[in-house]
Amino acid sequence: MTLDLNPPSPVSPAVDFDADGKQHGALRLPWSRDDSAWGAIHIPICVVRNGDGPTALFFGGNHGDEYEGPIALYDLARLLKPEDITGRVIIVPALNYPAFRAAKRTSPIDGGNMNRIFPGRPDGGITEKIADFVTRGLLPLADVVLDIHSGGKTLDFVPFAAAHFLADKEQQARCMAAAEAFGAPFAVRMREIDAAGMLDTSAEALGKTFVTTELAGGGTATPETAAIARHGVRNLLKHAGILDGVPERQETRWLTMEEAGTFAASPADGLVDYALALGDEVRRGEPVARIIPHGSTGAAPVTVTAPGDGLLIGRHFPGLVQTGDCVAVVGSLDD
């Protein structure tokens, strides 16, 4: 099957989305540049299909410095056998491939932040063209969409899968059930700071069952977080009825992230000294970290306090912060 997009996309998929079996291919996007005048970006893609059934669409590397998604999805693409599934699995392990190769959150080509430019444009920059192909080419093929994120080089999180508060409560319930089935230690009901431009928002607007994650961070993966991602993708395929079996459930604790009471930003530039570790319980107004001014000795640290009651589920990662950096994310616990 060719995707007949109107207006056409400059991205051409070197896979047949309707063929049974397994294909390792690429999304090819022309990229003319100094070292390759008629060059192209080849974004790896794998399509595994076995007859009719639901379609799962899995992304890693939306941000190029987050590694649990690519680790789990390169593995899944290599290991998943067509005879193991009913339906179709489309795997894009490193969606912003130029950013992934550069180990950067954003594209080194055009500075594009993939998760802030959806739905994209077929006539825009490189990153917008990729987003547009996802929006008009890939998302419509899917029933269940998973976009695996982690904190990247500047954030760290307790490992969680998440679904958003949505106007359509039936869709919201589907998304939350899928987030729980992913089987991370935590699941989060989430309202974004600014949902515009996110892959999430485009997938949800099409009525898809959408799950995102934050699986630790710091610009690397650990054995624990990689295992959560590997189990999660298979759990979600089982939940969708694509892979046989029931999701391997561990205890998942539900948390809520709403705008008020969730985020605390640094009021100053400085050296960050955390009083709490990820996963610690905290009450509103209690100190989470001190920001130590480093321009001269003798200046008093500034204390950042918890914006709400709950668990510290996200924090800044490197040792230095700038004014406005996200220092603390607090998720409220279900009673």
Q: Tell me which residues touch Ca ion (CB under 5 A).
A: 63, 149
Provide, rounded to whole angstroms, the least separation between the CB of residue 152 and Ca ion: 6
Question: What is the rounded distance in angstroms from the CA atom of residue 64 to the CA atom of residue 43?
Answer: 12
Q: Between 80 and 187, whose beta carbon lies closer to Ca ion?
A: 187
Contact in structure between 242 and 176 (CB atoms under 8 Å): no
Q: Between 54 and 108, whose beta carbon lies closer to Ca ion?
A: 108
Provide, rounded to whole angstroms, the least separation between the CB of residue 3 and Ca ion: 27
List of residues 6+ apart from 9 with CB closer than 8 A: 3, 122, 129, 132, 133, 136, 137
Residue closest to Ca ion when measured from CB atoms:
149
Provide, rounded to whole angstroms, the least separation between the CB of residue 67 and Ca ion: 11
Q: Comparing C-alpha atoms, which of 189, 184, 186 is closest to residue 172?
A: 189
3-state secondary structure of 70: helix
Q: Are strands 144-147 and 55-59 parallel, antiparallel or unpaired?
A: parallel
Q: Between 69 and 308, whose beta carbon lies closer to Ca ion?
A: 69
Structural element, H or E, at residue 178 = helix 169-182
Q: Are strands 186-190 and 160-164 parallel, antiparallel or unpaired?
A: parallel
Q: Between 23 and 106, whose beta carbon lies closer to Ca ion?
A: 106
Q: Between 55 and 106, whose beta carbon lies closer to Ca ion?
A: 106
Provide, rounded to whole angstroms, the least separation between the CB of residue 325 and Ca ion: 15
Q: Between 48 and 203, whose beta carbon lies closer to Ca ion?
A: 203
Provide, rounded to whole angstroms, the least separation between the CB of residue 274 and Ca ion: 21
List of residues 6+ apart from 205 with CB closer than 8 A: none
Provide, rounded to whole angstroms, the least separation between the CB of residue 217 and Ca ion: 8
